[in-house]
Each structure stands twice: as structure tokens, then as C-alpha cells.
């Protein structure tokens, strides 16, 4: 059987408006902003402690309204990728 | 091949002698070809000032063999989100992998502990990122740790090697790669080294691994001690080079640092090879810290070689390089790479030429091969995208298929190099197909990009399948990466031709290496030779390298214009500065005998000689005449100018002039006539052009000229025939008379006046009326109606001789009749 996707309670969010805007969005929708993702400008790592840590379904709940915020250009719930040591 | 020094090196590290891959020069050794790491050390290169990090499950930073070179600034714990990359310890020692890899790169030398790292003076760090949920965010963060400080990222992991996965970096990880390449190392580009897959036994193919398949990563494979294919090795066209590793149950594995401050002789798989290449690249970066990320790949292509690696898929590509789907360009050569790196000139900027996407859907019938080609000029019309010499080639492809593992895909370059982009994977039963998957090959490296590329897709079911369910190629496009000029001169890796500039100096720099360890820190100048002294300076010389294009007579300075003779060609004349060049610029050709660039004929861009008829391509505004091989502003008669290709192409044989297409004639040759836009032959009188048979056919005998064989197809009548009712007749029928028609070579039968049977010369000159009519002058009047409208008027008509007029005849019939 094809491996099923495994979703986490972490998100990658592309925000227009820099760190202050990212903090505002995180607070407004119940996330914790863990900061910019490496050197990728406008991309931030959001974490939501009140949703499933792991699930085979994408997350549901009011925190998904984040997607509709005009300041959010792109958003992706993080999937666990199967990686093997060689 | 590089010379092997007779006496090998000695280190007090206890496992040094078990590092069999460092002693292949010894007679007792089974690995017959060296990776030449010790030889590079002897030249003074040990990785000083180079920073390497291992992306893995952590690094035991206090391991005695790692601590001396451990670098906290090159380390981070992405899983734990802190600065301590130490692995998580458990009973199974599950997280030993990163520490083992780190030891291969930079285990300390002569510290009487474990082994010697390949770059044993490099800085080594570790990024803990595999010991937790690996997500796109985790990968992007890991690939983006301090790109301005870390030089080399080594990764010995990847998507599952289960023979049925197609996976690669997500959106964020891709952006992290791009950021590292563009901004890393102060703009020189981070070096990403990736271990190829380990799914050989599952029939996996590494083109389904988006990390090894990326142009940004150096994908490394492995060979066993005896040069055989390891049981785990995957094949694909994106593998660049190879190192020794484990791979056969009777052959030795790799020794390195292990968890809990131990040492192991059980490190295996392609995990071994990435850190080995990372270490070797560290030596090269010490030799030349200004190497860009592409310079490093060029150096690996140039210095790796097949040696004795056993496989039957070695082939020579269009640039004369041996390459294989198992080993890429072959076994790495540490000495070769540091020697080349030392004098390396940065390759020209990378050009990317994205071909137009072919969206024509193609069904792929079972058991058959679908071939689709694309003809490309490699973006010749955009100077900043034009690719002449290839580096990577990518095919971006989308297709559906009921069972993905049954597919086999090949790409054939204009030079005929065949890269296998995908092989059958019997375990891959997925029906997801491919969506914009990017297959990459390095096998065309160095070839010319322009020409016809062919994509072959073959559906070979490994078991019975519903025949109605077929694969479908939806879309594919070709992406060419490379340079507009030759990246470097074409000498082989070990034939160093640097010619030295001779400058007087007070003393010769101490370059002798006395005792290896203490004096090895100062890099030794490589095998150069010096030109004769100039202007009476003392014999003591300080030398600087001549321009690589200088010939064997040396030079007066470092520039190409200061050579005393040239290896390839000299450019310029008495009035202009003469300089040595590798290839002659546009508008010139290389005179091999005189080793000079000579000017082509006016209008030629490339040519084989001076004369007008030796042009191969033309400058802007000229057209290339295919027959005479000359460049003309206007295509001569009988040719038309093909605007896209800038050629003069032949019109149809019957055309004197044509426009835009050989069949669109505007002027016909003699003996032909224009019919629309076509020239049809002028057939002899009495014949016509039969377009079906494309020949002249005979007209009907009554025709002088015609458009067909029948009587009704005359254009002009034959002699003594008149044209009547679409036919040529010997005489006009009754009621008609033959009339001369200007411009016609024959008469035309015209109708006589009403009620006239026969008339001559004119329809009004009736000579014989129908029955019941009386000829009155040239007219025919019915007998019973011949009366006068008014006697007095008719007397006036008679006296004024007006009876010739038809009008008065009708009013005064009897009077005019009687007056004759």
C-alpha cells in the first residue's frame, strides 16, 4: 500500500510584512512563531500546541482561518518525510 | 596516472594501517587504484581553514579523535532547537551515523587515537536533524545553517531506498539549496555532497531521489575494494563520482570514529562516500579557496577516472570523457584535484536555457518505445542564456501510467550520448506517474548543446496488465545548463602545462619538504618549469605562471598578450596587440599549421577558410547560402531567405523567385507560367499541362492551345477553325458568321441578325433570310408585315436615302423594299 501522509502540528507560513506581522498572525490564530526558517526571507515556522502532534489527516479547527488572512501568501502544514540513513 | 611515491606515510593512529583505501599503492593491496589522498597530503593539503558539517543524527563532539577539529559554529541541533548537536544515546546506538561520517572527514592525525581523517586539519561540525520528524522546515533549516561560514555540507541520507518511492526536497528545502548556491561562501556557492541511494537490491534507481538528482548537489556512489559493484548500489545518470566503500561480504569495510568514543571497522554503504568526497573537496578548497560550487563539480569531472572499476556500461561521451551510470566519471583523485585546483581559473558564468515545453499528449503503447525529439539552438539568440558547452541537462516531465515501475526512459544528446533517466523498478506499483519530475544527467558534460535531443519512453510490463490502461506522456521540456565559452583549456588532468614567468628575486622560496610532518604545512609548488631568464637578471628566479595559453617558449608576463608563442592560436596583427587564444573569436578561423586566427570572408561568423565559399555561419544581417557556403545580404534568384534560420534555401525548380517557402513562387523560370503561387510549365502549342501527371498532354486536334484533351477545352483554335460554343469548328453553323477578334489568332462565330440564316462580315449583313422573311438590305423582314407607317414620312425617307437604316426600314418597309 502507498505510504500514507503523516501530518504534524508544525506549519511553514509565508508572511507579507516581516517578523512583527508574523508574530501578530501567530498570536491571533493560536500559534507560536518559532522564527524565520533559516535564511528564507518571509518564511516562518509556526507551531500549534493544541492540535494533534501527528495525524494522517490534515488539521481541522479555527486555527485554519490563518490561511484566509490577507497577510498570508502561502502556508503548508508540515508532513513527516520518511528519510533513511545510507 | 599520477606517480606513486615509493615510501608511504606513517601516522601513530592505531587504525591507520587498516585504512586499506589509503594504501592502494602498496603491492599487497587489493584496491589497485589509489584515490591519492596521501599524495595530496604530501603536497601540503590537509584541509586547513576549510569548514565541513555533517547533516545527520548528531556528532559526538567530545570524541577524542573529533574534539581537536570540532567546530561549534558549524553545528546545530535542529531536532532539539539548540546549539548542542550531540546524538541521543540509547542501547542500540541508533544515532552513531553522524559521528562515523564525521570521522572520515576530519578525524585528527597523529593523536594515537583511531583513524586519520581525509582532511585531518579541517574544521568539522554536525547538524542533528534526522533524530525526530524530518519535515520540509527541518530540512530547510539544516541546509541553511551559516552558509557564510560552512563551506561543505555532507549528507548521507535520503528518501526511502525501497525501490518504489519518488521523493525529493520540498519547496522550502529547494529554496534553501538555491540560497546556499547563490549566497553561500560569500557568493562562491555552498558545496552540497550527497550519498547516492542504497536501494540496489530493491532495484531502486537514484533518479527518483530528488536530492541526488539536483544540479546543486554532488551525488557520489561507491565501489568495493576490488572495484566491483556493491550489492547496494543504485544506478542513474546524475551520479558524478565514486569512492571506495564496502559492498561484498568478503571485502573489507570502512574504519572510522564510533559512538561512545570508540572506533569501528564496520562503516558501510554509500554513507561512506559522501564524507570521503567532502574531505577531498576540503583539500581542494585549501589549495584554492576561490573555487565556486561549479568549479568543484568541473574539477571532479575532470580528475575522476574509470581506473579499474569493473562495469560494462563505461562509454565515451561527445566530449571524450568516460562516464557510467554506476560510477559517474569514476574514482576520485585527491592529488589530481588539488593540483588542478591550485591553478584553476573560475569557469565562465552558468547559463540556463529552458526549452519550450512540448505539451503534445502521447500514448505509450505497451511493449513499445515512444520517441519524441526537440531541435534546439540552445538559446543562441539570448547572449545570457546561450549554452554551447554543457554541464547538467534536466528533463522536466509529467506523465500518467498505471504501473510506474514498468517505465524506462532514455535521453539521447545531439552527440549521441544515451543517458538512462529511469530504469524499470519492479517494486514500484504506483499509478501516480510523474508530475513535473526533473530527471538530471551529467553524462553530456562538455558536449555541445545545440542540435536534436531525443526522449525515448519504453513501457515494459513486468507482469500482465490491463492493455486498455496505457501510459500517457503529458508534457516534457529540456533544460540545458552550461557555458557559452569553453570552461577551461582541454588538457588532461595530470598534464600540467603551466609555464612560468621568470622574474628576478633575491632568493629562491624554500620549497623542499624535509621531514614530512613538521614541514608539510607549507604547500609545495607543483610540477612547473621555468622560462629562460630575461634582461640580464640574475639566475636566481622567482617565477609566476604564464597565461595557460602560452606555448612552450614561455612569456614576458602573465597575460595572454605576453606569450612568446601559443599553444593553440595567436590573434591580432602587426597593428593590433597580438595575443594567444584557445579558440578563435567569431569572424575568424584557426589556421592550424600557422597556429594563427585568420579573418573569414566579409559577413561570415564562422568559417573554414578565407574564401567567400568557406563560411559555416553568418553574421547578423546576412543569410547563409547553403549551396555556395557563402554569406549574402540578399538571397539570389532561385532562393528565398529563411528568416528563422537565416539561410538561403532553394525555391521550387520551376521558380525564378519565391518568398518564404519553396512552393510560393512569385516569378517563374522561362518555359513556365505562374498559376497562383505555382509555376506550371509552358507546354508547346497543341499541348497542355497535366497537373496530375505533371507533364504536357496533347490538345484536341481542333485546338491550337488548350487546358485539357477534350474538344471543349480549347483556349485558341487551330488554324482555319473558328471558336463556337466552347468548341473549335471548321465553319460556323447556320445563323452565325465568323468574326475576327483582336488578340485572337482565330475567328469567333457570331450570331447573325434575327431571322437571318447566313450573314457575312457582320451580323447586320444578312445574305440569306429564314423562310418567310425577305432580305431587305442587310435585314430580314417578314413578308406579310411589309407596309408603310406613313406615306408622306416614307417619301421623305426615300428621298433622303434613309432606307439603309434599320429603323426607317421598319416604318417604311414597302417604300424601302420597292427602292431596292
- In the block, cell 628576478 appears at B504
* Integer Rg of chain B from CA: 44
Give the minimum alpha-carbon distance from A42 to chain B in angstroms, rounded to a whole number. 12
CB contact under 8 A, A37 and B160: no
Closest residue on chain A to B233 (Cα): A86
pLDDT given at position A69: 94
Mean pLDDT of B74-95: 96
Please tell me the distance from the alpha carbon of residue B693 to that of residue B690, in angstroms, as a whole number.
5
CB contact under 8 A, A83 and B198: no
Point out the residue among A54, A78, A82 whose CB comes nearest to the CB of B137. A78
Q: Which of A2, A35, A38 is the best mutation test for B, with the most CBs of B within 10 A? A: A38
| DSSP string computed for B424-455 | --TT---S--EEEEEEEE-TTTTSB--EEEEE
Q: Which of A15, A22, A85 is the best mutation test for B, with the most CBs of B within 10 A? A: A85
User: Which of B536 and B684 is assigned the larger pLDDT?
Assistant: B684
**% of chain B with per-residue pLDDT over 70:** 91
CB contact under 8 A, B97 and A43: no
pLDDT per residue over B383-393, tens digit each? 899 999 999 99
Does the pLDDT at position B504 exceed 80?
Answer: no
CB contact under 8 A, B271 and A12: no
Mean pLDDT of B287-299: 97
Ranking B261-275, B332-346, B648-662 by mean pLDDT, the lowest is B648-662
CB contact under 8 A, B130 and A34: no
Mean pLDDT of B208-219: 97
Does the pLDDT at position B534 exceed 70?
Answer: no
pLDDT given at position B783: 67
* CB distance B484 to B386 below 8 Å: yes
Give the minimum alpha-carbon distance from B261 to chain A in angstroms, rounded to a whole number. 21
Closest residue on chain B to A38 (Cα): B141
Cell of B81: 532547537
Give the minimum alpha-carbon distance from A12 to chain B in angstroms, rounded to a whole number. 7
CB contact under 8 A, A86 and B271: yes
Residue B82's pLDDT band (cuts 50, 70, 90): very high
pLDDT given at position B489: 62
Chain B CB contacts of A9 below 8 Å: none
Point out the residue among B130, B135, B136 whose CB comes nearest to the CB of A85. B130
DSSP B812: B
Give the minimum alpha-carbon distance from A34 to chain B in angstroms, rounded to a whole number. 10
Does the pLDDT at position B754 exceed 60?
Answer: yes
Chain A CB contacts of B183 below 8 Å: 39
- Continuous H helices in B675-812: 791-799, 806-811
Residue A2's pLDDT band (cuts 50, 70, 90): low
pLDDT given at position B100: 97
Pairing of strands B639-642, B647-650: antiparallel
pLDDT given at position B129: 98
CB contact under 8 A, B269 and A86: yes
Cell of B392: 547538467
Give the minimum alpha-carbon distance from B135 to chain A in angstroms, rounded to a whole number. 5
Pairing of strands B434-441, B779-782: unpaired
**% of chain A with per-residue pLDDT over 70:** 98
Chain A CB contacts of B56 below 8 Å: 85
Beta carbons within 8 Å of B722's beta carbon, 6+ residues apart: B728, B729, B730, B731, B732, B738, B746, B747, B748, B749
pLDDT given at position B578: 82
pLDDT per residue over B566-591, tens digit each? 888 898 866 567 888 888 888 888 88
Residue B291's pLDDT band (cuts 50, 70, 90): very high
| DSSP string computed for B662-705 | TT-EEEEPTTEEEETTEEEE-PPTTEEEETTTTEEEEPPTTEEE
Point out the residue among B137, B147, B156 whose CB comes nearest to the CB of A37. B137
Q: Give how far the C-alpha of residue B458 lies from the chain's centroid of Cα atoms, to the nearest Å.
A: 22
Does the pLDDT at position B398 exceed 90?
Answer: yes
CB contact under 8 A, A2 and B430: yes
Q: Which of A5, A22, A39 is the best mutation test for B, with the most CBs of B within 10 A? A: A39
Chain A CB contacts of B140 below 8 Å: 12, 37-38, 40, 43
Chain B CB contacts of A38 below 8 Å: 140-141, 143-145, 176, 179
Chain B CB contacts of A8 below 8 Å: 133, 135
Closest residue on chain A to B142 (Cα): A38
CB contact under 8 A, B136 and A81: yes
Q: Is B188 helix (H, G, I), strand (E, B) or coil?
A: coil
Q: Which of B353, B364, B457, B440 is nearest to B402 (CA)?
A: B364
CB contact under 8 A, A81 and B172: no
Does the pLDDT at position B676 exceed 80?
Answer: no
DSSP B566: B
Which chain A residues have any C-beta within 8 angstroms of a chain B C-beta?
2-3, 8, 10, 12, 34, 37-40, 43, 45, 54, 76, 78-86
User: Which of B305 and B490 is assigned the larger pLDDT?
Assistant: B305
Chain B CB contacts of A54 below 8 Å: 133
Q: What is the overall mean pLDDT for chain B?
A: 86
Does the pLDDT at position B522 exceed 70?
Answer: no
Please tell me the distance from the alpha carbon of residue B548 to that of residue B489, in angstroms, as a whole number.
8
User: Which of B819 and A42 is assigned the larger pLDDT?
Assistant: A42
pLDDT given at position B511: 30
pLDDT given at position B595: 85
Point out the residue among B165, B171, B271 whose CB comes nearest to the CB of A85. B271
pLDDT per residue over B769-796, tens digit each? 888 787 776 777 776 667 788 888 888 8
Closest residue on chain A to B183 (Cα): A39
Give the minimum alpha-carbon distance from A23 to chain B in angstroms, rounded to a whole number. 18
CB contact under 8 A, A81 and B81: no
- Residues of B involved in catalysis: 56, 97, 271
Beta carbons within 8 Å of B163's beta carbon, 6+ residues apart: B199, B202, B203, B204, B405, B425, B426, B427, B428
CB contact under 8 A, A38 and B141: yes
pLDDT per residue over B105-159, tens digit each? 999 999 999 999 999 999 999 999 999 999 999 999 999 999 999 999 999 999 9
Chain B CB contacts of A44 below 8 Å: none
Indicate the burial class of B359 (C-beta count within 10 angstroms; 0-12, 13-18, 19 or more): exposed
CB contact under 8 A, A40 and B147: no
* SS3 labels along B499-558: EEEEEECCCCCCCCCCCHHHHCCCCCCCCCEECCCCCCCCCCEEEEECCCCECCCCECCC
Q: In what order do the strands lie in the sheet with B499-504?
A: B529-530, B499-504, B541-545
Give the minimum alpha-carbon distance from A76 to chain B in angstroms, rounded to a whole number. 10
Residue B185's pLDDT band (cuts 50, 70, 90): very high
Closest residue on chain B to A45 (Cα): B137
Point out the residue among A2, A81, A86 whose CB comes nearest to the CB of B195. A86
Does the pLDDT at position B732 exceed 70?
Answer: yes
Mean pLDDT of A16-34: 96
ipTM: 0.97
Point out the residue among A37, A76, A86 whose CB comes nearest to the CB of B156. A86
pLDDT given at position B593: 81
Which chain B residues have any C-beta within 8 angstroms of a chain A C-beta?
56-57, 81, 97, 130, 133-137, 139-141, 143-145, 147, 156-161, 165, 167, 170-172, 175-176, 179, 183, 195-198, 269-271, 430, 432
DSSP B487: S
Chain B CB contacts of A2 below 8 Å: 430, 432
pLDDT given at position B496: 30
Does the pLDDT at position B535 exceed 50?
Answer: no
Residue B326's pLDDT band (cuts 50, 70, 90): very high
First to last CA, chain A: 24
Give the minimum alpha-carbon distance from A13 to chain B in angstroms, rounded to a whole number. 10
Please tell me the distance from the alpha carbon of residue B114 to that of residue B265, in angstroms, as a whole number.
10
pLDDT per residue over B262-289, tens digit each? 999 999 999 999 999 999 999 999 999 9
Please provide residue B38's backbone torsions phi and psi, each rounded to the nearest 5 degrees.
Answer: -55, -35
CB contact under 8 A, A86 and B144: no
Q: Give how far the C-alpha of residue B257 lies from the chain's centroid of Cα atoms, to the nearest Å.
A: 45
Instruction: Tally the C-alpha atoms within 13 A of residue B766's C-alpha that lie toward its C-beta.
Output: 23
Does the pLDDT at position B351 exceed 50?
Answer: yes
Give the minimum alpha-carbon distance from A78 to chain B in angstroms, rounded to a whole number. 6
* CB distance B141 to A38 below 8 Å: yes
pLDDT given at position B490: 45
CB contact under 8 A, B140 and A76: no
Residue B739's pLDDT band (cuts 50, 70, 90): confident
Amino acid at each position: 500500500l502507498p505510504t500514507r501522509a503523516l501530518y504534524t502540528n508544525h506549519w511553514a507560513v509565508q508572511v507579507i510584512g516581516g517578523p512583527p506581522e508574523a508574530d501578530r498572525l501567530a498570536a491571533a490564530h493560536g500559534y507560536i512563531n518559532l522564527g524565520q526558517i533559516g535564511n528564507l526571507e518571509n518564511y516562518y515556522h509556526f507551531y500549534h500546541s493544541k492540535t494533534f502532534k501527528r495525524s494522517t489527516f490534515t488539521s481541522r479547527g479555527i486555527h485554519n482561518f490563518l490561511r484566509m488572512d490577507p497577510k498570508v501568501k502561502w502556508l503548508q502544514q508540515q508532513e513527516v518525510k520518511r528519510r533513511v540513513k545510507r | 596516472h599520477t606517480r606513486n611515491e615509493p615510501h608511504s606515510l606513517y601516522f601513530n593512529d592505531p587504525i591507520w594501517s587498516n585504512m586499506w583505501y589509503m594504501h592502494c599503492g602498496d603491492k599487497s593491496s587489493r584496491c589497485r587504484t589509489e584515490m591519492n589522498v596521501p599524495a595530496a597530503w604530501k603536497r601540503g593539503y590537509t584541509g586547513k581553514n576549510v569548514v565541513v558539517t555533517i547533516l545527520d543524527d548528531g556528532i559526538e563532539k567530545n570524541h577524542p579523535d573529533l574534539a581537536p577539529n570540532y567546530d561549534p559554529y558549524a553545528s546545530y541541533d535542529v531536532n532539539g532547537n539548540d546549539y548542542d548537536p550531540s546524538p541521543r544515546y540509547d542501547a542500540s546506538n541508533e544515532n552513531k551515523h553522524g559521528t562515523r561520517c564525521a570521522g572520515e572527514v576530519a578525524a585528527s592525525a597523529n593523536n594515537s587515537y583511531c583513524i586519520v581523517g581525509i582532511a585531518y586539519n579541517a574544521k568539522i561540525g554536525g547538524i542533528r536533524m534526522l533524530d525526530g520528524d524530518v519535515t520540509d522546515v527541518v530540512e530547510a533549516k539544516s541546509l541553511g545553517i551559516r552558509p557564510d561560514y560552512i563551506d561543505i555540507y555532507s549528507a548521507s541520507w535520503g528518501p526511502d531506498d525501497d525501490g518504489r518511492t519518488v521523493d525529493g526536497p520540498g519547496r522550502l528545502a529547494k529554496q534553501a539549496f538555491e540560497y546556499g548556491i547563490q549566497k553561500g561562501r560569500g557568493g562562491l556557492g555552498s558545496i552540497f555532497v550527497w550519498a547516492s541511494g542504497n536501494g540496489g537490491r530493491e532495484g531502486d534507481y537514484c533518479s527518483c531521489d530528488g536530492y541526488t538528482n539536483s544540479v546543486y548537489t554532488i551525488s557520489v556512489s561507491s565501489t568495493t575494494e576490488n572495484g566491483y559493484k556493491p550489492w547496494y548500489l543504485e544506478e542513474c545518470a546524475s551520479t558524478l563520482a565514486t569512492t571506495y566503500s564496502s559492498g561484498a561480504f568478503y571485502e573489507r569495510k570502512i574504519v572510522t570514529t564510533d559512538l561512545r568514543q570508540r572506533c569501528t571497522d564496520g562503516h558501510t554503504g554509500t554513507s561512506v562516500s559522501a564524507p570521503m568526497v567532502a574531505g577531498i573537496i576540503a583539500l581542494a578548497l585549501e589549495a584554492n579557496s576561490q573555487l565556486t560550487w561549479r568549479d568543484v563539480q568541473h574539477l571532479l569531472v575532470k580528475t575522476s577516472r574509470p581506473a579499474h572499476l569493473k562495469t560494462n556500461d563505461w562509454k565515451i561521451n561527445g566530449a571524450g570523457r568516460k562516464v557510467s551510470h554506476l560510477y559517474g566519471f569514476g574514482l576520485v583523485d585527491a592529488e589530481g584535484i588539488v593540483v588542478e585546483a591550485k591553478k584553476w581559473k573560475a569557469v565562465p558564468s552558468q547559463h540556463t536555457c529552458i526549452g519550450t515545453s512540448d505539451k503534445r499528449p502521447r500514448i505509450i503503447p505497451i511493449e513499445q518505445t515512444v520517441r519524441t525529439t526537440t531541435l534546439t539552438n540552445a538559446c543562441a539568440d539570448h547572449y545570457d542564456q546561450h549554452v554551447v558547452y554543457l554541464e547538467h541537462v534536466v528533463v522536466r516531465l509529467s506523465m500518467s501510467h498505471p504501473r510506474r515501475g514498468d517505465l524506462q526512459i532514455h535521453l539521447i544528446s545531439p552527440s549521441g550520448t544515451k543517458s538512462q533517466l529511469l530504469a524499470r523498478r519492479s517494486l514500484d506499483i504506483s499509478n501516480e506517474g510523474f508530475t513535473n519530475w526533473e530527471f538530471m544527467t551529467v553524462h553530456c558534460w562538455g558536449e555541445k548543446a545545440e542540435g536534436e535531443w531525443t526522449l525515448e519512453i519504453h513501457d515494459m510490463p513486468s507482469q500482465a496488465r490491463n492493455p486498455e490502461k496505457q501510459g500517457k506522456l503529458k508534457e516534457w521540456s529540456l533544460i540545458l545548463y552550461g557555458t557559452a565559452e569553453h570552461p577551461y583549456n582541454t588538457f588532461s588532468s595530470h598534464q600540467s602545462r603551466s609555464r612560468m614567468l621568470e622574474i628576478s628575486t633575491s632568493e629562491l622560496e624554500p620549497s623542499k619538504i624535509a621531514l614530512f610532518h613538521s614541514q608539510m604545512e607549507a604547500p609545495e609548488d607543483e610540477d612547473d618549469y621555468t622560462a629562460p631568464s630575461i634582461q640580464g637578471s640574475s639566475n636566481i628566479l622567482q617565477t609566476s605562471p604564464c597565461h595557460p595559453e602560452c606555448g612552450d617558449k614561455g612569456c614576458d608576463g602573465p597575460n595572454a598578450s605576453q606569450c612568446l608563442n601559443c599553444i593553440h592560436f595567436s590573434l591580432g596583427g602587426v597593428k593590433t596587440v597580438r595575443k594567444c587564444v584557445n579558440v578563435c573569436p567569431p569572424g575568424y578561423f584557426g589556421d592550424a599549421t600557422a597556429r594563427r586566427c585568420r579573418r573569414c570572408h566579409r559577413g561570415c561568423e564562422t568559417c573554414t577558410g578565407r574564401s567567400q565559399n568557406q563560411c559555416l555561419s553568418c553574421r547578423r544581417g546576412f543569410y547563409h547560402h547553403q549551396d555556395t557556403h557563402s554569406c549574402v545580404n540578399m538571397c539570389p534568384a532561385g532562393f528565398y531567405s529563411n528568416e528563422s534560420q537565416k539561410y538561403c534555401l532553394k525555391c521550387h525548380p520551376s521558380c525564378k523567385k519565391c518568398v518564404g517557402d519553396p512552393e510560393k513562387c512569385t516569378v517563374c523560370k522561362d518555359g513556365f507560367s505562374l498559376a497562383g503561387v505555382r509555376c506550371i510549365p509552358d507546354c508547346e502549342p497543341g499541348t497542355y499541362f497535366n497537373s496530375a501527371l505533371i507533364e504536357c498532354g496533347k490538345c484536341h486536334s481542333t485546338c491550337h492551345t488548350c487546358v485539357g484533351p477534350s474538344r471543349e477545352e480549347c483556349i485558341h483554335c487551330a488554324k482555319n477553325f473558328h471558336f463556337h460554343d466552347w468548341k473549335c469548328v471548321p465553319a460556323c453553323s447556320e445563323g452565325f458568321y465568323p468574326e475576327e477578334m483582336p488578340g485572337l489568332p482565330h475567328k469567333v462565330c457570331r450570331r447573325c441578325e434575327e431571322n437571318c440564316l447566313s450573314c457575312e462580315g457582320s451580323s447586320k449583313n444578312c445574305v440569306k433570310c429564314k423562310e418567310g422573311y425577305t432580305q431587305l438590305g442587310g435585314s430580314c423582314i417578314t413578308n406579310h408585315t411589309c407596309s408603310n407607317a406613313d406615306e408622306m414620312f416614307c417619301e421623305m425617307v426615300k428621298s433622303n436615302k434613309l432606307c439603309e437604316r434599320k429603323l426607317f426600314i421598319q416604318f417604311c418597309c414597302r417604300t424601302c423594299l420597292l427602292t431596292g
